[in-house]
Chain A
C-alpha cells in the first residue's frame, strides 16, 4: 500500500479518479454495471455541484449580498422572473412561467442578433472583400503564393468559396443547370473545410486521451499503491463475472416484461 509523503486526500483522489476512468472506459466493451456506476456518479455529482455553485454564485453573491448589503432592491425584478419559472410546479399558476420564458427568448434574441450580424455577416464580408491584384512599384502584379493567406490567388479562392457556399444555401432557388454546378462547388468547399476541421479536432481529442493515460500512468506508481493495476484487474474480473452471469441468466423478452 501507499508510502509516506502523499497526503491521504490526494491518495483517495488518485484511487477514485483511476477507478472512475476505468469504469467509464468499460463502455468500449459494452454497457455494463461498472459503466452505469460511473455514469450515475458523474451525473449525480455534477448536478449536486452545479446546484451548490448556483446557490452561492447566483443566490448569495449576485442576489442576497447586493440586496442586503448594498441596497440594490431592483434585483427583486429578475429574482421575481426567476421565481415565476418555478410556477410550473403549480398547474393553476403555471401560465406565469410563460412571462419569464418570453423574456428569456426575447432578450436572448435581441442581444444576439446584432452580435450575429457583426460576427457572421460583416466580419466574413470584411475578410472576403480583398483586391484580386496588387499594385507594386513595378506595376500591377498578381501574386500566386498558396502559403500566404493574403496572396491574390488565395483571395480569389476565398471569394469563389464564399460565393459558391452562399449559393448552396439558397432555398427558394432550385439547383439546376449552372446553379447546380455552383452549388456542387460549394459542397466541395464545405467538405474540404469539414475535413480540415475533423483532423484538427481529432488531434485535440487525442491530447485529451493522452491526458487520461498520463494520469493512469502516474497513478500506477508504488507511491500511490498502484491503483491503476489493482483497479484494472478488479474491473476486468467484475466484467468477466458479469458476462458469465449474463450468459447463465435467461433473457427476458419485452413481451414477458410487459
Chain B
C-alpha cells in the first residue's frame, strides 16, 4: 500500500515538474526573442581630450536587469580578431551627475557612456581607426552589435574647461586695468605686512654686525610662482644690500634659478650704482638633491653665521631643518612660502613669516612699482569676485536643495573644476 502511495507521489512530482517546464519554456523563448543589442550604439573619438581614447554610448535596454552584463570588444580591422577590453554589469557607466558641465553635455542623462582609454587592456594610437562591438549577455543568451569604427585624436581645446579660460580672461583684464590705474596714481594704499617691514631691520642688523645675509629662493624651479616672487624680492633685497655694502650669500638648488638670480643681483647692484661691489660668487650652485643641499646650507649657516636669513620661495621637508638651524645660528629670519604644509614650521622657527599670497605681495610692497602694485590690486579684485561667487554659490546651492531643483546648478557649475 505504501509503495502505491509513494509511486503516486512520484507521479505527481513528475507531472508538476513537466507542467513547470512547459510553463517556463515560452518565457525562455520570449527572453531570447527580446535580447537584442542596442540599436543606437555609437562610437566616437572622445571629445575634449588629449587623444588615446574612444567614447561608447547607447540607450538603456528594455531588458536591462540584474543578470545583464555588457562586454566591449575591440579590433584593428572590421574582420577582427576582436579582443574583450571591458566587461561591466548593466547598472554601471551612466551619463549623469555633475561630472560633465552642462555646456558640453552630449545627450540626455541616464544613457550608458563608457570611455575606453589607453591602458593595460588596449593601447590606442592617435590617427589609427579601431573597430568596436558591444556584446550583451544575460547568462543564458548573448548578442552583439555591428562593429563600428572610430579614430582617436587629440583635441586642441577642452571645452569642459571653458570656465577656466573665462576666469583667466577676466583676471587678465582686471590686471591690465589695475596696472593702468596704478600708473596714473602710483601711491595707492597697500596695508602694512609685518614680515616686509622687517626686511629693512634685518639688513640693517647685518650691516651693523658686519655679517652677511643668507638668501634662499626655495626648492622649486622657475616655473613655480613662489620662486618667481622670491627672485623679485631678491632684487629689492640686493638693492638695499648693495647700498649698505653688506655681504650676500645665495646658494641654489636649481641651475636655471641660479642663472636668473645672478642676472637679477647684478642688475640690482648696477641700478644702485655699485656694479663693482657685485661678484658672481654671491650666487652659487650646490646640488639639486634635496637633503644634501639642506646639509650644505646648514653648514653655511653655522660657519658663516649670517645675521639675517631669508627663506623665500617653495619648500618641502627641508623647511624645518633650515629654519631650526638658522634659529640656532642666531640670525633674524624672514620666511615666506605658499607651501601650506611647510608654513607651520616657518611660523614656529622664524621671526617673521609671509604666508601664501603675502609672498606675492612682498615684491609690490617693497618696490612700489606700478606694474606690481596694479597686479596686487587686481588680485584683490579677483578675490572679491571669488568671495561674491562663494556667497552666491552657497545661496543658490541651498535654494536648490530646499526647492529640490537642479536649475540653480547651471549658475553654480560655472565655478566648478572640470577635467
Give the interface of A toward B (CB within 8 A).
24, 27, 30-31, 35-36, 38-39, 42-43, 45-47, 49-50, 85, 88, 97-98, 101, 104-105, 107-109, 111-114, 116-119, 121-123, 125-126, 128-135, 140, 159, 162-163, 166-167, 169-175, 190, 193-195, 197-198, 201, 205
Task: Verify B256–A101 contact, CB threshold 8 A.
Answer: yes
- Neighbouring B residues of A125 by C-beta, 8 Å: 386, 389-390, 393, 415-417
CB distance from A96 to the nearest CB of B (A): 12
**With a CB–CB cut-off of 8 A, which chain B residues contact A131?**
394, 397-398, 400-402
User: Does B259 reach chain A (CB closer than 8 Å)?
Assistant: yes
Tell me the complex Cα distance, A88–B398, Å: 59
Contact mask for chain B residues 54-98; partner A; CB cutoff 8 A; 1 contact, 0 none: 000000000000000000000000000000000000000000000
B412 adjacent to chain A (CB < 8 Å): yes
Chain B residues contacting A205 (CB-CB under 8 Å) are: 317, 320
Q: Are A135 and B401 in contact (CB under 8 A)?
A: yes
Residues of B within 8 A of A134 (CB): 401
- Pair A197/B416 contact, Cβ less than 8 Å: no
Chain B positions within 8 Å of A, measured between CB atoms, are: 161, 163-165, 167-168, 188-191, 193, 221-225, 228, 255-256, 259-260, 262-263, 286-289, 291-293, 295-296, 298-299, 302-303, 317, 320, 340-341, 343-345, 347-348, 355-358, 361, 365, 376-377, 379-380, 383-384, 386-387, 389-391, 393-394, 397-398, 400-402, 404, 412, 415-417, 419
* A171 vs chain B, min Cβ distance (A): 5
Known interface pairs A85-B256, A104-B222. Does A126 touch B415 (Cβ–Cβ under 8 Å)?
Answer: yes
Closest 9 CB pairs of A and B: A108-B223, A46-B289, A122-B417, A129-B393, A131-B401, A198-B344, A194-B344, A42-B292, A46-B292
Interface contact A39-B299, CB-CB below 8 Å: yes
Given A42-B292, A50-B289, A134-B401, also A117-B167 (CB < 8 A) = yes
Q: Tell me if B's interface is mostly helix, strand, loop or mixed.
A: helix
Chain A residue at smallest Cβ distance from B365: A171
Q: Which residues of B contact A30 (CB under 8 A)?
A: 302
Give the residue of B165, B189, B288 whose beta carbon is less than 8 angstroms from that of A172. Answer: B189
Supply 17 A–B pairs (Cβ within 8 Å), ascending by A.
Answer: A46-B288, A47-B292, A50-B288, A97-B259, A111-B223, A118-B164, A122-B167, A125-B415, A131-B400, A162-B390, A166-B390, A170-B380, A172-B376, A173-B380, A195-B344, A198-B348, A201-B345
A171–B168 CB distance below 8 A:
no
Partner of B383, one of A27, A39, A50, A170: A170
Asked if A47 and B223 make an inter-chain contact with CB atoms under 8 angstroms apart, the answer reads no
Q: Which residues of A contact B404 (CB under 8 A)?
A: 135
B270 to chain A minimum Cβ distance, whole angstroms, is: 14
> Smallest distance from the beta carbon of A77 to chain B beta carbons, Å?
18
| Assembled-state Cα–Cα distance A36/B225 (Å) | 34
Closest residue of chain B to A116, judged by CB?
B225
**Contact status A166-B387, CB under 8 Å:** yes
CB distance from B211 to the nearest CB of A (A): 10
Is A197 a contact of B189 with CB atoms below 8 Å?
A: no
Bound-state CA distance A97–B419 (Å) is 36
Q: Once the chains bind, are B390 and A163 in contact (CB under 8 Å)?
A: yes
Q: A171-B376, A175-B191 are in contact. Are A121 and B340 (CB under 8 A)?
A: no
Report how far A117 CA is from B163 CA in the complex, Å. Answer: 10
CB-CB < 8 A to A123: which residues of B? 417
* Contact status of A105 and B228, CB under 8 A, knowing A36-B299, A132-B394, A173-B380: yes
- Contact among A112, A118, A198 for B345, CB-based, below 8 A: A198
Set B291, B340, B365, B402: member contacting A42, Cβ < 8 A: B291
| Bound Cα distance A130, B146 (Å) | 45
Min CB–CB distance A23 → chain B (angstroms): 10
- Chain A residues with Cβ below 8 Å from B389 are 125
**A27 CA to B329 CA in the complex, in Å?**
13
Tell me the bound Cα distance from A96 to B224 in angstroms: 23
For A166, what are the chain B residues with a Cβ–Cβ distance below 8 Å?
Answer: 383, 386-387, 390
Contact A201 B341 (CB under 8 A): yes
Residue of A104, A123, A159, A205 with highest tally of chain B CB at under 10 A: A104
Chain A residues near B345: list those with CB within 8 A: 198, 201
Q: Tell which of A104, A117, A133 touches B402, judged by Cβ atoms closer than 8 Å.
A: A133
Q: Which of B291, B376, B415, B417 contacts A119 (CB 8 A)?
A: B417
